[in-house]
Amino acid sequence: MTSSSTTRPRIAIVGIAIESSTFSPHRAGLEDFVQRRGDELLEYYPFLQNDQPLRAAAEWVPLMQARAIPGGAVLAGAYQQMEREILDLLTEHGPFDGVFLDIHGAMSVERMADAEGHFAHRVREAVGPGTVISTSMDLHGNVTQPLLEAVDLITCYRMAPHEDAMESRERTVANLVEVLTSGTRPHKAWVRIPVLLPGEKTSTRIDPAKRIYAEVPVVEALDDVLDAAIWVGYAWADEPRCNATVVVTGFDTDVVTREAERLARLYWQARADFEFVAPTGTFTECLDEAISSPARPFMISDSGDNPTAGGSGDMTWAVARLLEDSRVTGGQVKVLYTALPDAPAARQAAEAGVGAPVRLQAGARIDDIHEPPVTLDGVVEHVSGTDPVAGAVAVIRVGGLHVVVTERRKPYHLAEDFGHAGVDPDEFDIVISKVGYLEPYLYGLAADWRMALTPGGVDQDLLRLGHERIERPMYPFDPDMADPSLSATLLPPRH
């Protein structure tokens, strides 16, 4: 080990994490990333707090980790600036026994085909061949051979929605400490599965994903297995690396190979059984059902522009349909729509003040592919500036429709999100949010719900998006393709 202590390894923490739709016109810049360094970064991880065993197990060197809500591809200059800082910090503060590499796995960068593979390779160059790199990823990330060759340990979430995100990072770190302490180096058995499905069809709340992912801890518990992981892959990037993947890490090559291939076969055999996590329909069909249903509040997902999957978040397509519906504008139903990011509109409403009549243009500043900005001709119901993510927030009422307009793009998933906007979802007949499957708070809120298959950068209907660069054949793009071999590639330990 390179640390001055003979008992505690010295471990750096670095990463860049974003989920990027290449079908979205949004581009992520430095302003989209929350960058944490030093103690602020260390405090981000509950399992590395002072009273936690892992904190005492190593000397932690928290350098820099940048994290953004999903969006479009990252601007090349923004990525290069973040990468340069991380590489400089690794060089300046090294050497290290280990690196905790906290990434997403579906980051797209302008003019790059495998952003995380490139990034991991550059980190490897900076720390040298003897440093153990342990990587945490979202299960909607993509795994490539360059990425696997650059890192020693790799794992991902096991739940969608991602209720185990921090637990998965803790497992990443625990595995790293175990390997550094024992001095052993594991093998990785990797299987690429030619299946590409949206996350909303692979929720672990329901079968077959629930059944398949239940096998992951079973594999992990086997003798000589350190970790097992299944990646769904990221469906809204048109890149050759996008597909499902299995990696089993451990010390018995026969076991990790056998189990990786078994998990891959389970996934492949279930490929036609994956279904949307909720009843779906066109936006009009979902709205009709919501209005006629006695269930209140009735949730509708505006799934095609989900900012937590990579949508621009400012599409107006669904709002335009609501403004055309006299049942909504006439006040037959009380509808809440979250949200339209539009800085000038939010500021205009804030300046007008609560109770003021306004006529403003909102939305489609970034993504006007399917609908131009909408005109909100109504009354300002609420104004606030307490939301650290959204900035200025205003609620504009047009008849029965209440539209949350924000200064910056933001998902509405948590009770506090609605609190900052001054609205109580329980007081509405219908709540429409830019989301896919419902996050835990929304899931508990909804008396009933539907997922509207709306257009956008994260359109759930993959076949109408126009993928051109993914490796073919691929299910469901080639539904009659022959069974693949699903043979594992074994990557030996780095020495």
Taking only the tens place, the pLDDT of each residue in 305-357 is 999 999 999 999 999 999 999 999 999 999 999 999 999 999 999 999 999 99
What CA–CA distance (Å, rounded) separates 79 from 421?
32
Q: 349: how many CB neighbours lie within 10 A of its CB?
A: 28
- Reading the block at residue 48, the tokens are 């590395």
> 61-82: per-residue pLDDT in tens?
999 999 999 999 999 999 999 9
Cis peptide before 476 (omega within 30 of 0): yes
pLDDT band at 494 (very low <50, low <70, confident <90, very high): confident
Segment 214-240 mean pLDDT: 98
CA 248, CA 470: separation in Å to the nearest integer?
Answer: 24
Cα–Cα dist 393/355, whole Å = 15
Half-sphere exposure of 62 (CA within 13 A, CB side): 16
Neighbour tally for 49: CB within 10 Å: 11
pLDDT band, very low/low/confident/very high, at 3 (cuts 50, 70, 90): very low
Model-wide pTM > 0.85: yes
Place 437 in a pLDDT band, splitting at 50, 70 and 90.
confident
Mean pLDDT of the chain: 96
Q: What local confidence, expressed as pLDDT, does residue 5 receive?
A: 43
Per the model's pLDDT, the better-predicted residue between 335 and 277 turns out to be: 335
| Residue from 172, 120, 168 nearest 11 by CA | 172
How much is the average pLDDT of 256-283? 97
How far from chain centre, in Å, is Cα 1? 35
Give 4's pLDDT tier (boundaries 50, 70, 90): very low
Query: What's at 86, amino acid-wise?
Result: I
**For residue 7, what pLDDT is reported?**
79
Strands of the sheet with 430-433, listed across from one edge: 280-281, 448-452, 298-302, 430-433, 335-341, 401-406, 391-398, 374-387, 357-362
Q: What is the pLDDT of residue 329?
A: 98
Q: Is there a contact between 266 and 212 (Cβ–Cβ < 8 Å)?
A: yes
pLDDT at 6: 57
Return phi, psi of residue 159, to 5°. Answer: -135, 140
| Of 447, 408, 485, 449, residue with least CA distance to 192 | 485
Task: HSE, CB side, 13 Å, CA atoms: give it for residue 475.
Answer: 20
Q: Report pLDDT digits (tens) over 165-180.
A: 999 999 999 999 999 9
pLDDT mean over 41-56: 97
Q: In the 3-class helix/strand/coil scheme, how is the chain assigned residue by residue?
A: CCCCCCCCCEEEEEEEECCEECCCCCEECHHHEEEECHHHHHHHCHHHCCCCHHHHCCEEEEEEEEEECCEEEECHHHHHHHHHHHHHHHHHHCCCCEEEEECCCCCCECCCCCHHHHHHHHHHHHHCCCCEEEEEECCCCCCCHHHHHHCCEEEECCCCCCCCHHHHHHHHHHHHHHHHHHCCCCEEEEEEECECCCHHHCCCCCCCHHHHHCHHHHHHCCCCEEEEEEECCCCCCCCCCCCEEEEEEECCHHHHHHHHHHHHHHHHHCCCCCCCCCCEECHHHHHHHHHHCCCCCEEEEEHHHCCCCCCCCCCCHHHHHHHCCHHHHCCCCCEEEEEEECHHHHHHHHHHCCCCEEEEEECCCCCCCCCCCEEEEEEEEEEEEEECCCEEEEEEEECCEEEEEECCCCCCCCHHHHHHCCCCHHHCCEEEECCCCCCHHHHHHCCEEEEECCCCCCCCCHHHCCCCCCCCCCECCCCCCCCCCCCCEEECCCC
